[in-house]
Structure formats: structure tokens, C-alpha cells
Amino acid sequence: MRTLRYREALREAMIEEMERDRTVFLMGEEVGYYNGAYKVSEGMLEKFGPERVVDAPIAEGGFAGLGVGAAMVGLRPIIEFMTWNFSAIAFDQILNNAAKIRQMSGGQYNCPIVFRGPNASAKQVGSQHSHAMEHFYAQVPGLKVVAPAFPADAKGLMKAAIRDDNPVLVMESETLYSIKGEVPDDLDVVPFGRAQIVRPGSQATIVAYSRMTHVALDAAAALEKEGISVEVLDLRSLRPLDEDTIVASVKKTHRCVVVHEGWPYGGVGAEISDRVQRLAFDWLDAPVLRVTTRDVPMPYNAKLEQYCMPQVDRVIAAVRRAVHRSA
């Protein structure tokens, strides 16, 4: 089994699907001659040419709309946002066109489009470039939203997204692009709506996704030294959501801590908390707890930035609260 970096796995997925299907093309800012802002599309311009790897101007609403139109007439665009923060400029195209055209046309048009790019915070990129945007989109009917944590899932979910006949949003993490992981040679698609247990445990469940899965794994390893057994569940897919795996894990461990990089008001963590409380209430020995980004615009200062984001020590404290409350 090969070891690939996260960015390499994404690139491999796009190349394989572009070789498989000539209707697939990539478009975005600096995806071509610059090889991508984060080098995800490195070498793709030379391989496929400027008609299929298209450098777009700084006009997210324009090239997102162009992608929607291309998808409606039979192409399969991959639209890269240099960062998901910039998708706010294209929000109308995603919300009102991509997500709704199939329903509004009575099924006469599909919109097989992928929107992708780095999501959430990086390192000192300021409040306007640090948003975790997934909860804005995951609540929209007609959209599918995935957030891989590992290279193999990045490749498999990207391939599934490109082949899907609906708009799919792939939320990557700038902080994960360089991580390495095993990727099977014969890996095909990773189905949407299937979470995975990445660390088994018996006393508490941590539900996470994207970069927070790695934070959760570090917290679980530290808690094991205290004699606390923690199960870590990586969602992978936010919409559709694997409700069954979440509930089954909580029924096993009787406690749940949700860790995500969004704000606490609303969001993915609130949705998961609601479902666990409704569907597994009789199995809970403690309230569902959440560890989130603090409810403020992200500071630029490095220490304040780290204070605001979910860290291992905050996750450990939340699990301790859940476990010892019911001890």
C-alpha cells in the first residue's frame, strides 16, 4: 500500500477521473500555471491543457456560475475556491442555482458539479480567512458536503463527488495538505454518508471530522494513559450524515463529545447533539458536550488564535467531564 500526502491523494483522484471522463474539467484561481495555491493541481495543466485546467479571474461568483451552467449542459466541472472563505462571493450561485436547479426544473436538469478548496482556519490568516464554512452549506437541501480527514478518504470522496449527479462540496483543510497516509492502489470511491470508527473505545465517543479528527485522536491517546477508553468517530460526510453509526457508538459508550471547528451557535455540532439526544437519550449517562471554536471572530495574534480553536486539552477536559459526571 502506497503512502501519499493529502494533496497528492486529491490530485490523483482528479487526474484519474479526468482520464476516465472527458467531460470533467478543473477551473479556479491559479489552478493552472501556478499549479494551485496549495499545489493540489500541480502538473495538471501540462497533462490536460488549458481547455480542461482553466485559470479563472478573481471573480468567484462568475466562475462558480459558469461552472453551474456547464454542469447543466452535460459537463462535470470541478470548481476550486482558493479558500472556502471566498465562496461567500459565490454563495448565491451555490445556494440558489446549483442546489435548486434539479428541483426547479422538475428533473430536466442535473447539476453534477464539485466545489472544493481549503476550509476553516490555517495559521494566522485573520478573521476573514478563517471561517469554517461547512455549516452554512450542510443545511441546504440539494447539496452534499464532505470533509475528509485522511489521504485515502480525500481521494475516495473526491472520486465519488466527481461522479455524483448532484452538487458536492469537498471541504479540505489547509493544515492537512501535507499529512501522509496509506492509500490503496485499487481505491475507488468512498461512499457518502458512511462514518468510520478510527479508534475503538468503551467509555466515551468523540465525533469529529476533518482536522478535528486528528485532534480527537491525540486527546484519546492522552486519555488512555488516565485509564479512560475513548472511541473516535470520523464523520467524513456531513450531508448525508451517518446517523446510524453515531447512535450505535453512543449506545456503546453512553457518552458523546462533538468536536468541530465551527462556532458554537448552530452548526454541525448542534445538529449532531440534537440527533444524539433524540435518538440515543435512554443510553446517555451524561449530557452531550461540544468543543468548538470560541464564539468570536478569529484573532490574528498566534496565541489568541490557538486559544480560540479546539485544542487537545479542551477535548480532554470535556471527556473527563462526561465520564466523571456519571462515575
User: Given phi > 0 = left and psi -120 to 50 = alpha, else beta, which region is 86?
Assistant: alpha
Count of other CB atoms within 10 angstroms of residue 299:
17
Q: What does the CA dihedral 248, 249, 255, 260 come to, rounded to 10 degrees?
A: -110
Query: Per the structure block, which three cell numbers stand in for 244?
Result: 446510524
| CA diameter of the chain | 62
Active site residues: 60, 129
Mode of pairing for the β-strands spanning 24-28 and 76-80: parallel
Query: Per the structure block, which three cell numbers stand in for 326?
Result: 456519571
Phi, psi at residue 244, to the nearest 5°? Answer: -65, -45
Residue found under cell 477551473: 27
